[in-house]
Structure 1
Amino acid sequence: MNDSTLSYYLSSTLMAFALFFSCQQAYAEITPKPHHIAFTEGQFELTQETEISFNHPDAKPVAEYLAEFLRPPTGYLLPVTKQTRSQRNVITLHLVDSALAEEQYRLAVSAQSIEISARTPTGLFWAVQSLRQLLPAEIESRMPINQASWAVPQVTINDKPRFKYRGMHLDVSRHFFDVEFVKRYIDWLAMHKFNVFQWHLTDDQGWRIAIDAYPKLTEIGATRPHTVVGHTYDYQPLFDQQPVSGFYTQAQIKEVIAYAQARHIEVIPEIDIPGHTSALLAAYPELSCHQQPVKVQPQFGIFEDVLCPREDVFAFLSTVYKEVAELFPSQYIHIGGDEVIKKQWLASPFVKQLMREHQLSTPEQVQSYFIKRVANIVQAQGKTVIGWDEILEGGVAEGAVVMSWRGTQGGIAAAKLGHQVVMSPYQYIYFDAYQSRNLDEPKAIHGLSTLKNVYHYEPQPSHLSPEQQELIIGAQGALWTEYIKTPRHAEYMVFPRLSALAETLWSAKADKSWSEYSQQRLPKLMQRYKKMHINAATSAYNPTISSTIKGEQLQVSMRTDIEGTEIYYTLDGSEPTLTSLRYQQPIIISERTRVRARSFAKPLGQLVGDAQLTLAPHLALGKKISFSYQPVEGSATKLQDGQFAYDQFYSVNDYAIFYDSDLEAVIDLDSSTLVERVEIGYNSGRHRQLHPPTSIKIWGSNDNKNWQPLAHIQQPPGPMSILSFAATRVRYLKVSAINSKQSQDIQIPKLPLYIDEIAVY
C-alpha cells in the first residue's frame, strides 16, 4: 500500500467514523428512546425539491402535518402527493397491512429517501415526531432560518410504546389558561409521544366549561374575587384583590379536541364530584345538603362543601355529564372522587335516612354510593369512568378505571381487584412540586420531584403478578396550578420532566439508563427547547448541600444528579463564580457558616442553581433529647442537626413537628457545660409562613430535677428567636415552645408547630 492509498484509506475511515459518531449523536436526540435503531453511513438532504407522498387517504393528514411543520423554518413549500413515482429525494408515508402493533412504526432513512411505515395513522405520526428530532434543532423555529443544510442521518428505527396509556394532566381551574396555551401544551405532549391529555376543568376555585343547561355554572362559578398570596396554609394569609375569571365555550372545547385529534391525542375531561365543588355550589347552592350560600374559593386545598346524594343532584349531574359526553369523543370521563370531607353528610338528616335505607354504615360507603350512581350516569352515555384512588373507599364501581395519586397502594389494590389502573403518584410525577431546594426555584406547592426521580419511576410494581401488572395500563403526570399563574411558569415546571416521564412510558424498561439520558439526550433536548423558546428548568444540574455531625463539627458534602457537573462554592454567603472554590471533597465546618454553591452546567455553558445552607455547630449537636409530647415520628433529629432551614424552600422534612401539642424537651449535654445563648428556629421555610409559638422558655438544671429559669420570650418574632442569659453551668436544658392550638381552618384541624433547630452556645 503506497502513501497516497494509505492516506485515502485513513481519510475514508475517519470520515466514516465521524459520520457514524454524528449518527450516534443524532440518535441521542430522540426522546423517548426508540426500541431498536441501526445506523449506516451517509445522510438524507431535505431540500426545496423534496416531495412528501402517502399511499392511503388516512395517511394524508399526517403527510400534510409534516409538510406544514417543515415549512416555517425551511421556507420550503413541499408538495404532498399520493404515490409519487420518484425514487429520489422523497419522504413516503405508507399504511401497511402487517403484524405491526397499533402504534408501532418503522422509519428508514437512506441517501435517496425517507420511508415511514405503520399499520395506523397514529404510528405514522409518532414516526414523524422521531424524524423531527433527527433534524437539526433549528427545525423547531417557527420563523425562517438561514440554514445551509437540513440533513437527516441514515438510520433504521423500529419502535413502539411500552404502555398504551401515556397521559399528562393540566389543571385550568386554579389558574385559567387560554386556548392557545392549551394547544401548545398538546403540541408538547405530541412531540414526546404522549397520547392522553386530561383536562381538569372544574374545582373549588373555578368552573371552566360552559354547560348550556346550567349557565350559572360559568356566570357565577367561573369567577373568584381574589386569590391567596403566598401559600394557602400561611400563618397569616393575604389576598391579591385581583379577580380571576375564565371558561371555555363549547365551540372552543371542540376546537381543542379537533386540534388534539390531529395530533393523535385523546382529550379526557375531568368534572370533579362530589367534593371540590365549591364553584358548582356557588352557582347552585341548593345542590348541597345545607342549601346555604357557597363562595368560589380564593384559597387552595380541601373544603367542607360537597354535593348531597339526593335525586335532584343526580338529575343535575346526569344533564351535565350528558353534555360533556356529547362534546368529548374520548372513551373516558374522569369524575374525580378525591378528598371528600364528609362532615356535612354526617350532619344531614337526609343522609342519615339514606344510610338507613341502603344499609350504609360508614361515610365511605356513602361516598361509594354517590360514585356508583355517577358511574351509572357516565356509563349510560357509553363512556368508561376514571376516578382518583379514593373511589376505592367503601367499594369501587364496576368497570371503573382507578387513577392512583396518593402513592402506589391504591393502584396495587385496584389491580388486585381486577380493575385497570393508571398510575399517577404525587411523590414522583406531580410536576407542581419543587425540582430542587435551591433558592432560584419559583414557588411550588410543596414536596420535591427531581428530574432523576421522575426518570427512575416505574409504574408496574414488581410484587404484582404478571396478570395484575397487565392491568397497569400506563401512567399520567400532573400539573396542578395553584401556584402556577403564567405560561412561562408552567413551562418551567413541565420541562424537562415531561421528557423523563415520556421515556418511562414509551421506552423499553431494560433500555433505560439515567446516565445515558442525562449525559446524551438531555443536553440535546435542552438545545431543542431553547429553539422552541421554552422556559425549561435547569434544576437537574443544581447542587445539593448536606451535612453530617462529626463530633462537635459538621462535615459538608455537595453533589448534583448529573455526573461530572462541577460545583463552585463560598463559605461567607457571597454568590459563587467560576473563580470561587471548586468542590472536590467534604468540608469540615467548626463555626456558624453560610455555605452557598452553584453548578457549572457544561452543556448549557453557564452557572446554574443557588444552593444555600446555614450551618451552626453548637453544644447540643447530636445530644440525647427527651420529650413530654412526642413529635411526629422520625422528626426529632432535626432539632439538633446543625442545619437551619431558612435558606431553602419549605420541606416538612426540615422540622420536628408537633401536632396540637407543645414542644417540651430536655437536652442532656453529658456534663456540666457553660451556656449563655439558645437559638430556636421555627418559621424558617422560604415560601411558607409557618405558625410561630406563642411563647418560649428556657430552664437549666444539673440533676434533671431542680430547674432554674434562664430566659423566656412572649410572642416571639420570626423566623427564629435568640434567647441570651448570664453564662451558667448546667448539664440539662429544658426548652418549651407553646403551640397556639387555635386553628380556624378546616384544612388544619390540629395546628402544627414546626421547630427547625435548638442551637445551644
Structure 2
Amino acid sequence: MHFKEKALLVIFCCAMLACKTEASKGVVPQIIPAPQSLQIEEGIFELSSNTYLTFDKELQPAVDFWKTLSSSVLGSNTGKTNEMRVSLDENITNPEGYTLDITPDLIHLKAPTPEGAFYGLQSLFQLLPPEFVVPDYESEGIEIQSLKIKDAPQFPYRGMHLDVSRHMYSVDFIKKYIDAMAMLKMNTFHWHLTDDQGWRVEIKKYPKLNEISSYRNETLIGHYSDQPHQFDGKRYGGFYTQEEIKDIVDYASKRMITVIPEIEMPGHSQAVISAYPELGCTGEQVDVATKWGVFEDIYCTKEKTFKFLEDVLDEVLELFPSEYIHIGGDEAPKTRWKTCKDCQARIQSEGLKDEHELQNYFITRMEKYLNAKGRQIIGWDEILEGGLAPNATVMSWRGTDGAVKGAQSGHNVIMTPTSHAYFDYYQSDNEDEPLAIGGFLPLEKVYGFNPIPEELSKEEARYVLGAQGNVWTEYMPTEDHVENMAFPRMLAMAEVNWTTPDNKNYADFVKRLEYFHKRLDILDINYANHLYETKGKMFSENGMAFYELETLIAGKDIRYTLDGSEPNSNSSIYVSQIPIDESVTIKASVFKGDEKLGKTFTQNINSHKAVGAKISIDKPPHKAYSGSGAQGLINGISGSDTRYGDKEWLGFWGEDIEVKIDLGEETEINSIETRFYDGNGQWIYAPKYMAIRILLEDDTVLANKLIAEDLEPLNIKSFRWDFSAFKKVNAKEIVLIVPNYGTIPDGKQGAGNKAWTFIDEIIVN
C-alpha cells in the first residue's frame, strides 16, 4: 500500500466558495493535443468545495503543481461528496502516459511517474471552463463530463525554441512561454542564448561577455532585404543573470520541462570575438553584429579558444542540469579558417582533409569534453559536415536530409525543418501581417507535418526523438509579436508531437482550436486568429478554369464578389465552384448571419492564354515547397511578393528544370513572362539567365536567352520576352529552360550549399 495524503481540493479561487451561483456546466472535451483514446460516458462529476483529493506520495510533484493552478485551500473533508484520486500505476508502460477515468463519484487519474500524472492533470484542466483561471471566477460547482482517457505521447522529445539573442524578453515572459508549453504537454524548452547579435547568459569568469558581447550599438530597421539598410541608432542588449536563469530552470522543472541552453560554436560567434578578439582568426576587433545574417568571424581552432569554451561551459553546466547541451554548429563560413595559420596548422597536425573535417574536429572535441561531464550534445545538421561526432544528436533544419543521414548512421535526430517548423515565417496571405523573415507556413502545414521521414525504415525511425517549433526573433522586437508568431502554431506542433497520425484530424483540430481561443484570451496570449478567413484555389477541368472557396469553420457562410468590391450581407453566398473565363478580382468573407467574421480574402486572377493548358516539369518540386504543383504555374494566380512558401511558388533545391506548356492548339501570343524569388538570406537565388523555346505552327522553333530584370520589391526577378518585333507568333508549345544558380558563394548565408530556385506564374499573353 502506497502512503497517501488526503487534502481538501478547491479547484477554483477562494471567492468562489462563498458564492451561490449555479453550477458551471460540463465542458465538451476539446483537449489539445488530442488524447490517443477518449470515450464519453454517461453522467457528470460535480467538482466543488466538498470534493476531496487523495494521492500517492510518489506523484506529489504533479499534484503540488495542480494545487498552484487551482488556488487550493486545505482543510478537513467534512461534508465530502466525491473524490479525486491520483494513483501510481507502474503497469502503464510509457513513462509519460496516464489514464483518466471520470465517473459521477470519482475522478481517478493513474500514471507511472510524476510526468505522466502531470499530463493527465493538464487534460483534466482543459475539461474545466476557460474562465476558471480568472481570479474572481465564481461558481457553486463545476460539472465535468464522465469519460475515459487512455493517453501517452507519440514522441519523447516535444520542443519549442526561443531565440533571445536577437531580441531579449523579460523573465516573466519566459515563464509565461513555459506555462503555455506545459499546458500543451511539451517537455523541452530550447533556449537560444548566444549569437552574433548578443550574448545573453552571465559568465562570471569572462566579464567582457556581459560588458561588451551582450550589447550592440544599434539594430537594423525594417527587413534585411530593404535597401539601403537603415538602423535605429540605439544601443540594445542585456543578459540574464545566473540567479534569473536558475529561477527559470527551476520554474520549468516544476512544469516537467527541461531547459536546453544553446551556446553557439564555432560560428555565430561575432559577439564573443568583439569582446575577446584573440579568439578569432585575425585577432582584429569587430563589433557585435547590428544586422541579421551569417558572418565570417568565427572561433579560431587554437588552444586558447577551446580553453575559453570549456570554462564557459563549466558555468553553463552549473546552471542547466539538462542531459543535452546545444552547441549550434550551423552556418560557420570557412573563409577565415582557409587563410588562418593556426587553423591550417591544426588541419596538418590532426591529419584532416579540409576545413569541413576541421569543423568535425571542433565539434567532436567539444562533445568529448561534455561527455566527460556526463552530458550529450545536440547540434544543427551542419555538424554532419566532415563526419558526425560519435554521440551527437542531430537537429535537422535544412529539410529532412540531415535527419535521414543521422538516423541511418545510428544517431538520434530531432525534426525542425524550415518548411514545417519555423514560426518566424508568415502564417497567412494577409498583407497586414506583422513583419517576418519571409516564407509561408500556415497552421494547416504545421499540423500536417510527419516527423518520421518516409526514407527511414521502421528500425531507423526509432532514432527520431520528436519535433520542435522554432521562433527566431530577428523581426520580433516585442513579446506580443513573439506570441502572435508562436500561437496557434505551437498548438499544432504540440499535437504533431503527442498524437499519433491515426488520431489526428485537421477539421477536428480546428474545431477544438476555436474553443481553445477562449482559453488563450483569458491567459492574455496574443495569438494570430486566421480561423474565420477564406481560402481559395484554381483548378482546370476539360479546358475550363474554375475557382473554389472554402473556410475552416463549419456552419458559416462565404459571401463573395467578382468586381473587387467589399462583400457584405447582401453579396452572393458561395455554393459551388466559380467559372473563370476572364480576369477578375474575387473578394470573399466569412459571415455568421449578417455578421462578418475575420478579414476579407482577395484574389486577383489573370486569365491569360496558358490558363487551362497542359503543363509538365522534368523534375518534381521539392516536397516541402510543392505549391499547387505544375498546374499552379499557369493557373492565372501570382504568388506573394514576400511568402515564397505559399501555394503559388514552386521550390527546387539545386536542380536545373525544364517546363513544357502544351497549348493544345495554335495560339497567337504576344509575350511570355515569369518571375523568380530572390531571397538570398534564405538561400534562394534567381537564375542568372533562362531560355525559352517556342514551337511554331510550321514546326519551326523560336528561341531566346533572357536576362533577369529587377522589380519592386527587390526580392523578385522578372524575365520577359515581348514579340512586338515579330509580325505574328502562333505557338503550339512553349518550353522554359531554367538553370539553377549553383553553389552559394563565400560570404553569403548558406555559402557552399546548393541554392534554391523558386518560380512563380508563367504568363502567356
- Which TM-score tier does this pair reach, normalised by the shorter chain? 0.7 to 0.9
Q: Deviations over 1:12-39 (max 9, x none)?
A: xxxxxxxxxx87x622x12222233444
Measured after TM superposition, the shift of residue 475 of structure 1 is: 1.9
* Distance in 1 between residues matched to 2:137 and 2:634, nearest whole Å: 59
Name the counterpart of 1:616: 606
Name the counterpart of 1:192: 184
TM-score relative to the length of structure 2: 0.80
Q: 1:367 to 1:540 in 2, by over 3 A?
A: farther
Measured after TM superposition, the shift of residue 169 of structure 1 is: 1.1
Q: 1:728 to 1:457 in 2, by over 3 A?
A: closer
1:547-626 to structure 2, matched below 5 A, reads 547-548=538-539, 554-560=545-551, 566-600=557-591, 607-619=597-609
- Do the aligned partners of 1:438 and 1:649 also contact (CA within 8 Å) in 2? no
Name the counterpart of 2:66: 66
Q: Deviations over 1:341-384 (max 9, x none)?
A: 11111122222222222221132211100100111122222111
* Distance in 1 between residues matched to 2:301 and 2:465, nearest whole Å: 31
In the alignment, does 2:644 pair up with 1:642? no
Q: Deviations over 1:147-202 (max 9, x none)?
A: 35422222333332222221111111122111111000100011011111111111
- Larger deviation: 279-288 or 104-113? 104-113
Structure 2: unaligned runs, 5 residues or longer: 1-24
Name the counterpart of 2:729: 731
Name the counterpart of 1:17: none
Counterpart of 2:86 (choices 64, 87, 93) is: 93
Q: Percent of aligned positions with the same letter in both sequences?
A: 38
- Larger deviation: 640-649 or 246-255? 640-649
Counterpart of 1:220 (choices 195, 212, 227) is: 212
Does the residue aligned with 1:485 lie in a helix, a strand or coil?
coil
Aligned-pair Cα RMSD in Å: 4.7
Q: Deviations over 1:257-279 (max 9, x none)?
A: 11101111111111111111122
* Distance in 2 between residues matched to 1:498 and 1:263, nearest whole Å: 17
Measured after TM superposition, the shift of residue 230 of structure 1 is: 3.2
* Distance in 2 between residues matched to 1:510 and 1:86, nearest whole Å: 45
Size of the alignment, in residue pairs? Answer: 719
* Distance in 1 between residues matched to 2:496 and 2:653, nearest whole Å: 38
Name the counterpart of 2:37: 36
Matched residue type, 1:588:
P
Name the counterpart of 2:524: 533
1:276-425 to structure 2, matched below 5 A, reads 276-425=268-417
Counterpart of 1:139 (choices 115, 132, 135) is: 132
Counterpart of 1:107 (choices 91, 95, 100) is: 100
Matched residue type, 2:214:
A
* Distance in 2 between residues matched to 1:44 and 1:640, nearest whole Å: 58
* Distance in 1 between residues matched to 2:141 and 2:669, nearest whole Å: 76
- Do the aligned partners of 2:333 and 2:747 also contact (CA within 8 Å) in 1? no
Counterpart of 2:473 (choices 477, 481, 493) is: 481
Does the residue aligned with 2:728 lie in a helix, a strand or coil?
strand
Q: 1:200 to 1:578 in 2, by over 3 A?
A: farther
Does the residue aligned with 2:263 lie in a helix, a strand or coil?
strand
Does the residue aligned with 1:256 lie in a helix, a strand or coil?
helix
Q: Deviations over 1:271-290 (max 9, x none)?
A: 11111112222222221112
Measured after TM superposition, the shift of residue 503 of structure 1 is: 2.1
Measured after TM superposition, the shift of residue 325 of structure 1 is: 0.5
* Distance in 1 between residues matched to 2:87 and 2:557, nearest whole Å: 48
Does the residue aligned with 2:438 lie in a helix, a strand or coil?
coil
Q: 1:447 to 1:724 in 2, by over 3 A?
A: closer
* Distance in 2 between residues matched to 1:460 and 1:573, nearest whole Å: 44
Does the residue aligned with 1:730 lie in a helix, a strand or coil?
coil
- Do the aligned partners of 2:51 and 2:80 also contact (CA within 8 Å) in 1? no
- Larger deviation: 358-367 or 111-120? 111-120
Q: Deviations over 1:115-170 (max 9, x none)?
A: 333332222222221111111121133x2123354222223333322222211111
- Larger deviation: 119-128 or 305-314? 119-128
* Distance in 1 between residues matched to 2:685 and 2:411, nearest whole Å: 42
- Do the aligned partners of 1:51 and 1:80 also contact (CA within 8 Å) in 2? no
- Larger deviation: 715-724 or 442-451? 715-724
- Do the aligned partners of 1:612 and 1:648 also contact (CA within 8 Å) in 2? no
- Larger deviation: 348-357 or 320-329? 348-357
* Distance in 1 between residues matched to 2:264 and 2:428, nearest whole Å: 31
In the alignment, does 2:426 pair up with 1:434? yes
Does the residue aligned with 2:41 lie in a helix, a strand or coil?
strand
Q: 1:221 to 1:582 in 2, by over 3 A?
A: farther
- Larger deviation: 161-170 or 229-238? 229-238
* Distance in 1 between residues matched to 2:136 and 2:285, nearest whole Å: 56
Name the counterpart of 1:120: 113
* Distance in 2 between residues matched to 1:672 and 1:534, nearest whole Å: 55
* Distance in 1 between residues matched to 2:650 and 2:497, nearest whole Å: 38
* Distance in 2 between residues matched to 1:123 and 1:572, nearest whole Å: 56
Does the residue aligned with 1:443 lie in a helix, a strand or coil?
coil
Q: 1:744 to 1:325 in 2, by over 3 A?
A: closer
Name the counterpart of 2:46: 45
* Distance in 1 between residues matched to 2:398 and 2:232, nearest whole Å: 31
Q: 1:319 to 1:619 in 2, by over 3 A?
A: same
Matched residue type, 2:74:
P
Measured after TM superposition, the shift of residue 337 of structure 1 is: 0.8
* Distance in 1 between residues matched to 2:549 and 2:504, nearest whole Å: 26
Q: 1:458 to 1:300 in 2, by over 3 A?
A: same
Q: 1:568 to 1:359 in 2, by over 3 A?
A: farther
Name the counterpart of 1:8: none
- Larger deviation: 354-363 or 325-334? 354-363
1:215-254 to structure 2, matched below 5 A, reads 215-254=207-246
Q: 1:517 to 1:747 in 2, by over 3 A?
A: closer
* Distance in 2 between residues matched to 1:479 and 1:348, nearest whole Å: 34
- Larger deviation: 333-342 or 712-721? 712-721
- Larger deviation: 400-409 or 109-118? 109-118
- Do the aligned partners of 1:693 and 1:715 also contact (CA within 8 Å) in 2? no
Counterpart of 1:79 (choices 61, 74, 88) is: 74
* Distance in 1 between residues matched to 2:86 and 2:711, nearest whole Å: 71
- Do the aligned partners of 1:26 and 1:153 also contact (CA within 8 Å) in 2? yes
- Do the aligned partners of 2:357 and 2:386 also contact (CA within 8 Å) in 1? yes
Counterpart of 1:269 (choices 257, 261, 266) is: 261
- Do the aligned partners of 1:674 and 1:729 also contact (CA within 8 Å) in 2? no
Q: Deviations over 1:541-597 (max 9, x none)?
A: 532333356899853333345666643322233333343333333323344332233
- Do the aligned partners of 2:331 and 2:750 also contact (CA within 8 Å) in 1? no
* Distance in 1 between residues matched to 2:250 and 2:431, nearest whole Å: 41
